[in-house]
């Protein structure tokens, strides 16, 4: 399973990559939203994890691009910063499948990824 992970905080990004890789995923990590989107355009991936706020382009813009311009239904989880409800609602509105408020619990993340992948494979 291939994951594209976009998160500009190195510590969190590296930790999440390490965690997900040790669970058997192939993780492509990016600190810049635009670079992540390039990778999404050029490669197949099974799920996209992205922070909402990032240099380059934001997680919301990325989601919009994937859904509308690329027309792809790849599952997307958006990491939001401390529960701001409106943002989360917006995230759903533009086609994200799930959002998670930071701090990200790795085990919860794993469960949600597995759930989305399962739904997507149906």
Partner 1 sequence: MPDTKFPIPRNEKERLVALRRYNIIDTLPEQEFDDIARLVAYICDVPAAHVSFIDERRQWFKATVGFEATEVERDTTFCQYTLMDTDMWVVPDATKEPKLIDNPNIYDGFKVRFYAGIPLTTHDGYNIGTICAIDHIVRDINDEQKNALRILARHVMSQLELRVRNTELDKQKEIAELAIYAKDSFLANMSHEIRTPLNAIIGFTELIGKTELDATQKEYIQNVQTAGESLMLIINDILDLSKIESGQLIIESQPFSLRSALKHTYELMKVKVSNAIEFNLFLDADLPDMVMGDRGRLNQILTNLTSNAIKFTQEGDITISVKKITENDNSYTLRFSVKDTGIGIAEDKLETIFDRFTQAEESTTRRFGGTGLGLNIVKQLVELQHGVINVKSTFGRGSEFYFILSYNKVFTQEKKVQKAEQSIKKLKHLSVLLFEDNILNQKLARSVIDEFGFDLDIANNGEEGIEMFLNKRYDLLLMDLQMPVKDGYQTTEYIRCELKSDIPIIAMTAHSLVGEQQKCFDIGMNGYVPKPFKQVELLGEINRVMNKKPAKQFKGIDLSYLLEMSCEDQNFVNEMITLFVNKVPNEIDLLENAVDNKDYDAVRKIAHNMKSSLPIFRLDDLLKDLTLLEKQAIDTNFTDEADEKMNKLRKGLTDTVVKLSTYKS
How many whole angstroms separate alpha carbon 38 and alpha carbon 19?
24
Region of 11-19, 38-46, 66-74, 89-97 interacting with partner 1 (CB under 8 A): 11-19
Q: Does 26 bind partner 1 (CB under 8 A)?
A: no
Q: Which of 15, 28, 58, 64 binds partner 1 (CB under 8 A)?
A: 15
Residue that the structure tokens 């149906």 belong to: 122
Which positions ≥6 away from 104 have C-beta within 8 Å?
12, 16, 79
**Do residues 78 and 96 touch, judged by C-beta distance below 8 A?**
yes
Give me the 36-75 binding string for partner 1, x by CB under 8 A, dash otherwise: ---------------x-x----------------------
Q: Which of 69, 74, 103, 119 binds partner 1 (CB under 8 A)?
A: 103
Residue that the structure tokens 């759930």 belong to: 115
Q: Does 111 bind partner 1 (CB under 8 A)?
A: yes
């Amino acid at each position: 399973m291939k994951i594209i992970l976009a998160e500009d905080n190195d510590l969190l990004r590296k930790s999440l990559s390490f965690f997900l890789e040790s669970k058997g995923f192939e993780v492509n990590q990016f600190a810049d939203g635009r670079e992540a989107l390039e990778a999404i355009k050029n490669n197949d991936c099974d799920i996209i994890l992205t922070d909402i706020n990032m240099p380059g382009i934001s997680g919301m813009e990325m989601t919009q691009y994937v859904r509308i311009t690329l027309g792809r239904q790849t599952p997307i989880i958006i990491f939001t910063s401390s529960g701001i409800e409106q943002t989360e609602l917006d995230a759903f509105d533009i086609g994200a499948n799930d959002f998670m408020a930071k701090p990200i619990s790795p085990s919860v993340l794993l469960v949600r990824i597995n759930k989305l992948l399962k739904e997507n494979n149906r």
